[in-house]
A and B are shown apart, each in its own frame.
Chain A
Amino acid sequence: DGGITQSPKYLFRKEGQNVTLSCEQNLNHDAMYWYRQDPGQGLRLIYYSQIVNDFQKGDIAEGYSVSREKKESFPLTVTSAQKNPTAFYLCASSTGTDNSPLHFGNGTRLTVT
């Protein structure tokens, strides 16, 4: 079955360390996204990519970085510059047209202490 795989499901890091969250999709979708979810805040867009080797900042890109070297993969790095990195991170993909719904992975819960 096609879908989006996020790994790991839980991730723990010490403050000051960079950490990379994995996102892989086999839906043959052109567009991929990273959202951050905090309790009571809904989902906020971090970065998105509509095509390989290109990506754009979302609403809260500071302290994060991404790459899109392959169509199937869109890893997110949470850097030490992100002031409050503990959150639930959701990766999504879509065909990339304006009315296309997002398909979501099951998320990675990152805890930084």
Chain B
Amino acid sequence: AQSVTQPDIHITVSEGASLELRCNYSYGATPYLFWYVQSPGQGLQLLLKYFSGDTLVQGIKGFEAEFKRSQSSFNLRKPSVHWSDAAEYFCAVGTGYSTLTFGKGTMLLVSP
């Protein structure tokens, strides 16, 4: 069965520093991969998605992610974090029949 692992429950980054959030997936076929962001008490907003082609994908708010098939990873990156980036981030894999399987999330804290 498909699964998504986000190894870090919490990450604290200084404002202006770079960010990398890890995501590993387990899925037998070619995956469809997504990153979402959630502010407290809100729904999820799509940051970016990977279907095929270029393994480095650009998203909104200055985020990017790189698909590495050999490592079954889809890590999210941002060169310089802003205080407004503090939120919870979810990685998800498309599993056919239009459903998604989500990881448990990584909470990003931004320190001054």
Which chain A residues have a beta carbon within 8 Å of chain B's beta carbons? 4, 6, 31, 33, 35, 40-45, 48, 50, 56, 58, 90, 92, 94, 96-107, 109
Main secondary structure of the interface of A (DSSP, over half): strand
Chain B residue numbers with a CB within 8 Å of A6 are 43
Chain B residue numbers with a CB within 8 Å of A50 are 97-98
Number of B residues, CB within 8 Å of A: 24
Chain A residue numbers with a CB within 8 Å of B67 are none
Q: Are B44 and A104 in contact (CB under 8 A)?
A: yes
| Residue among A33, A58, A101 with max Cβ neighbours from chain B (10 Å) | A101
Q: Are B42 and A106 in contact (CB under 8 A)?
A: yes
Report how many A-B pairs have Cβ atoms within 8 Å.
63
Q: Are B41 and A109 in contact (CB under 8 A)?
A: yes
Q: Are B98 and A98 in contact (CB under 8 A)?
A: yes
Q: Are B98 and A107 in contact (CB under 8 A)?
A: no
| Residue among B41, B43, B99 with max Cβ neighbours from chain A (10 Å) | B43
Cα separation A48 to B95 with both chains bound (whole Å): 13
Q: Are B99 and A107 in contact (CB under 8 A)?
A: no
Q: Are B99 and A33 in contact (CB under 8 A)?
A: yes
Chain A residue numbers with a CB within 8 Å of B74 are none
Please name the residue on chain B nearest to A109 by beta carbon: B41
**Per-residue 0/1 for B24-50: is the Cβ within 8 Å of any A Cβ (1 yes, 0 no)?**
000000001010100001111110010
Pick the contact of B46 from A42, A101, A107 — CB < 8 Å? A101
Chain A residue numbers with a CB within 8 Å of B43 are 4, 6, 90, 92, 104-107
Q: Are B98 and A58 in contact (CB under 8 A)?
A: no
Chain A residue numbers with a CB within 8 Å of B41 are 106-107, 109
Chain B residue numbers with a CB within 8 Å of A106 are 41-43
Q: Are A98 and B96 in contact (CB under 8 A)?
A: yes
Chain B residue numbers with a CB within 8 Å of A102 are 44, 46, 100
- Closest 8 CB pairs between A and B? A104-B43, A42-B104, A43-B102, A104-B44, A42-B102, A99-B32, A106-B43, A99-B51
